[in-house]
Structure 1
Amino acid sequence: MEGGRVKVHSLLSVVSSNPVEPGRVHKLSPLDQAMGHHTIHIVFYYGSNPFRDGPYPSDIDNLRVSLSKLLDEYPIVTGRLTRGPEGGWQVKCNDAGVRILQATVNTTMDEWLRSADASEERDLTVWEDMPEDPSFWSPFRIQINNFKCGGLAIGLSCTHMHADITSATMLIKSWAEVHSGQPLTHPPIFHLPPSPSSQRNSVPSSSASHTPTTPANIATVTMKFSSSVIENYLSQVQSQCPDATPFDVLVALFWPRIVRCQEPLFDSLKCSLSICVDSRSGGHPEVPFGYFGNALCLLVRYVDADKLLTGGLGQVCEHIHSHVAEVGADEHSKDGEGPVTVYSRRLTCINMEHMAGAENGAALMYAAAFRKGERPVHVSYRVGNVEGQGLIMVMPSAEGGLARTVTVVLPEEQIANICKDQAILELEPNMIMSGKR
């Protein structure tokens, strides 16, 4: 990172305050194993440093004490990956600890959010890919980034095998609760009883043998849409899709425009879209928010190209909404083409509506308050090693209500087209983190 604005100056390990019982092993599910080539990266931005207030004189001591207490509840986070008797990955819960990096950022947080691109934001979550022998390798890394203005960003990186986006978010939220002396709202659960949805979520382990190929010219843009804008869009589709969600209307806005950018690549009369829905949503009470692991359902939607490109917003919105609703009808994560790779060659959309308004009106990621009343001002998500036609992530915004943040990952030339699309610009999105990954 020579010459960059982020300077990492220390590395240490934090272990749980109480040792894990000897011999404890956590077997990763088939779906967990299918995520082996992907990583999760999250950045929580705070206006001030919550670790400066505490019983100890240094930030790092206050941080380590609360994190150690948290890790008592998450033994698989401190463990190390190893191969089980049948060759699959499992976690040996051995108190090896979590890597903590400390860094300084040579700018204010406001300036960073205005000027940093997606590639530079990666410096807030420095990651080391899994080596051939992971017995000494930490699958979880936390980076504490101090800004010149006194703000702080917590960067979390982990393997997708261990956790999905919701699980990783809940880890930081639980840490905030421990640090502020609050009980855990969603204590972690590592095993679920067999159920129809667990069968639906299972992906054959053979799909893990696929190594994703990520194009070199991938770029990212993040756009924030206000609550009033989303409310207006929902009113426009009310007659055709009365139960539409912000996810539905935003995907209906972006999908046809992305397809037009990719049109020369299409030799079919149908367009396909992969939609990732979390099983922790209301339709699956057997998968609670505290479940730590992967709980994604993959839905593949096919729409006639003519209907997609010439149909109105309401018609496309209804296509998307009706298909997402099918997850409640025990739909399997298959599309007739063999084992599914979750972040596949298709355009993929991640639905994070289940995290909106989940706690006292605040989305789960914005409820991670290490100090009372001081919630994150922004939360950024990234999935590593995504291949194919691109990725759209629709998530709640700090504004609350119907406001949403959309992160789009596409080839550079397509991102350029999306950023100047008149229909999108008319919604006056606040664009941040635009640029190469």
Structure 2
Amino acid sequence: MSRREEEFLSSPLIVAEQKHCKDEEGEICESLNKNSSTSALSKTCFHGINALSGVGILSVPYALASGGWLSLILLFLMAAVTFYCSILIQRCMDMDPLLASYPDIGHKAFGKTGRLIVSIFVNLELYLVGTSFLILEGDNLDKLFPSVGFHLFGLHLGGRQMFVLLAALFVLPSVWLDDLRILSYVSASGVFASVVILASVFWVGAFDGIGFKNSGSKMFDLRGITTSLSLYAFCYCAHPVFPTLYTSMKNKRQFPLVMIVCFTLCTFTYASMAILGYLMFGSEVKSQITLNLPTQKLSSRVAIYTTLVNPIAKYALMVTPIIDAARNRLPGSWPNKRTAGLFLGTALVISNVIVALLLPFFGELMNLVGAFLSTTASVVLPCLCYLKISGRYRRFGIETMVLIGIILMGIVVVITGTYQSVKDILGRL
């Protein structure tokens, strides 16, 4: 594993203070610096909350609007299931002290095939999240500066397309960096950003004339349940980083407590945003709630600008593992891995731009990521790996039945959610 990948695992979503990370050949992950138990616990909780906090907060009002008020139950159900799956990851790692990453768990359970499957799902999820960042930037900048566009080589680029290109040009140098430490500190503001966005939306509703009595809300809509579940699943897609978070802890027995704190606080934040957004805009709420906010209000601009900053900082941290994975598979005779990294990083950004311009549908793309990738990586795979590593599949009991039930539920979400999201994307092309 390269230095940049170590930087990613230790800083972007976790910002953990570990010294060395296990690579594919099996070096053992070393623990955190010596801290007091209380300090280590609070830091780990912060890192866990930051891992779970992301752009999903922008889409939960749309998720609630899709399924109606009763779909809020599904948010809590998804939180409970994904919390349980985080504990399953801990149990897998407790069975073998050499395990230090999510692909390691896949390898322990199903050999090289398991490692490959886990790696594919994790990297594909990171790739599409990076794409969604560019779409998000384009949509929100276009709202702030409407009716902007220009001609390039005889082609007219509208405001949204132009801002996608500008955002890509802005993040491109960060992809070339060897040291991502500065960006990791900015991306650690994910917790703060979520709080600012939530407070700003509340301020818009309470004091800027929107109000919280929208009459367009509904109690239940069966047609939108798959969309709701997919977006809720996307909110809890941090499981690939939990193994590194776990190995970085001094007192690993506190991991369940950390997960309880993280999932409780993040679920409260997501539920609060969903309720506020749905009360304010009803069925008219958009896939990003910032697109509903009146831009002439200061509070709205604070929410939108906060939304814009965090993805810019996190973009390089998200795509770095993909670049490093590709670079590490280059033949040993490759003359300059540094030059290869620059080329691969540039190519990845260009491909992200192409996808963002061809599929400029933030909500539908998040549906696809949540249904196909997040549900698989955060629900189905942890249960399958635990069943195999623990040997529970050999004996039938209550826990085995629960695990099988969760796997079947996850598969249903994957199939129905993926079908619906692909259908929606094709319908908008």
Shorter-chain TM band: under 0.3
Give the strand-richer structure, 1 or 2: 1
TM-score by length of 2: 0.24
Give the helix-richer structure, 1 or 2: 2
Which one scores higher on RCO, CA 8 angstroms, separation ≥ 6? 2
